[in-house]
A and B are shown apart, each in its own frame.
Chain A
Amino acid sequence: MERYLHIEQAGMIFETRQGAFTALRDINLEIQKGEFVTLIGHSGCGKSTLLNLIAGLTLPTSGYLFLSERQIGGPGPDRGVVFQNHSLLPWLTCFENIHLAVERVFAEKESKAQLRERTQKALEMVGLTQAAEKRPHEISGGMKQRVGIARALAMEPKVLLLDEPFGALDALTRAKLQDELMRIVAATGSTVVMVTHDVDEAVLLADRVVMMTNGPAATIGEILSIDLPRPRERLAMASEPRYLAARKAVLEFLYQKQLKAA
């Protein structure tokens, strides 16, 4: 098995006013090329922290992270990030927001026309050709999230990192975007790490669900493989025993083994 995204004994200690705070410890994880991994855990356990480590936005205080055998030492366009709150630049149109990313990655090799075409394609992929010339505040929350995904995808990253990308959306929009994401990932074969706190989302989308223990000093509690064939049909899953069993296993982990002391 080829090691692709590879995390070895990673730990993260924040310096706070109250002294050192151990957010993560002993994180060991190997993710294969083309795999879809979801990260689930209670709020504040350190999911975003782990994702930021993979993104290279923060560096671990102990341990190592590798992407295709090269140590992650900072952020880079080989890892596309979709942030928890879309993070589109409000002064640029949807098109320009994506174009900024496209330009950065492909400007050296491609002509202006090709760059524009790439941007256009990314917008098409998330079904937002109509909204190309709109500013972020002129479109809905779901559309913004889709532009965020398009921006990340347009860079053709090796790894797509998503931090609760659908967290702020209503159930219907969320379901639609989940389906869209599955279709896109199937088409592009991207490797995906996605943070979520929604059990159904975690199970429906993932090849493996990584369950994290509660913080402080959170680590990986269990890893559950979801051996369901793709494409997965939301309605069919509702009565699929293997799906239901997986869902139950995640629920048990979260609400029995890691019951949050409220």
Chain B
Amino acid sequence: MMTAPITATPEPAATPAAERSATPAVVPHPAAPTRNAAAEQAAANQRIAMRRRTEIAARIAAPLLGILVFLTAWYAISTMGSIPGPAKTWEAAKVVFGDPTYKNGPNDQGIAWKVLGSLERVGIGFGLAALVGIPLGFVIGRFLFLRNMAEPVISLLRPVSPLAWLPIGLLVFKGAAPAAIWTIFISSIWPMVINTAVGVQRVPQDYLNVARVLNLSEWKVFSKILFPAVLPYMLTGVRLSIGVAWLVIVAAEMLTGGVGLGFWVWDEWNNLKVENIIIAIFVIGIIGLALEYTLLMIAKRWQYD
């Protein structure tokens, strides 16, 4: 690329200075806005407001329409017999949520206790997975040798169906409750390990160069550069892990029993109270959605640009 020498080519857009100074009064351009301009502005505002209203209407209408289609399909299927329809499920839901905190013995408790029971197992299993998985991800990401060591093992274990781990848990921990937690732990740990490790590898070299030039201590490198740079990846891992944990808990509880949503589904299947199974499905879906949404919100707070 050549630096162009300054030539005498006249710029077509610029008025020659002499001409400008000869006719100083004829410059209407920056004058005050006329009534016409104000009217145009108002019309534009109106158009914008109108468009925004239709946009908002569409934003609200589309999901409502989706739910309506879903309910219709559900109703249509229910008319065929075996599945209770929306109305019947609604009646059953009133009963279930009418007394959410009753306790009739160890295995018959209100919906609130079931939800809490499931959340507690997920919380413990997932919490332990985070405690182990995130630091593991950091060291795997930082040291190539460890990464190469871990890779075959992780690749082998990760695709294993969660429930295959349950018998191992039952054998080792000699109890249903810890086995369920173990299953959550082992199946939800991988997204955190992998995403954290990828995040560490993707820390821009520029930032690490800054660390080297400033000669920062190991702790400062970790707290001021590595950790914040990896955090978004880590939170993605956490979100995926919680998703997996919540998926797995239902299946695990079906097999291990105890107070929880999964066992409730199984129990109601044995009682043939299908409307309660449908309620359970909704509750599971809504809680999963809430977990996902909460973590998305947290992740958003840690987005840097």
Contacts and interface: CB of A to CB of B under 8 A. Distances in A.
A76 interface: yes
B228 A89 contact: yes
A155 to B, nearest CB: 8
Interface in A21-55: 55
A76 B304 contact: no
A255 B2 contact: yes
Contacts of B206: 83, 85, 87
Chain B interface extent, by class? 10 to 19
Interface string B206-231: 11011011111000100011001100
Interface in A77-100: 77, 79-81, 83, 85, 87, 89-92, 100
B214 A251 contact: no
Contact of B215 (A77, A90, A255): A77
Given A83-B206, A89-B207, A199-B3, A137 B212 contact: no
Chain A interface extent, by class? 20 to 34
B213 A57 contact: yes
A215 interface: no
Nearest to B217: A104
B19 interface: no
Interface string B182-220: 000000000000000000000000110110111110001
Contact of A91 (B210, B215, B216, B304): B304
Contact of A104 (B3, B215, B228, B229): B215
Interface string B120-141: 0000000000000000000000
Contact of B224 (A76, A81, A85, A100): A100
Interface of A: 55, 57, 74-77, 79-81, 83, 85, 87, 89-92, 100-101, 104, 135-137, 155, 199-200, 251, 255
17 contacts: A57-B209, A57-B212, A57-B213, A83-B206, A83-B209, A83-B210, A89-B224, A89-B228, A91-B228, A100-B220, A100-B224, A104-B215, A135-B305, A136-B305, A200-B3, A251-B3, A255-B2
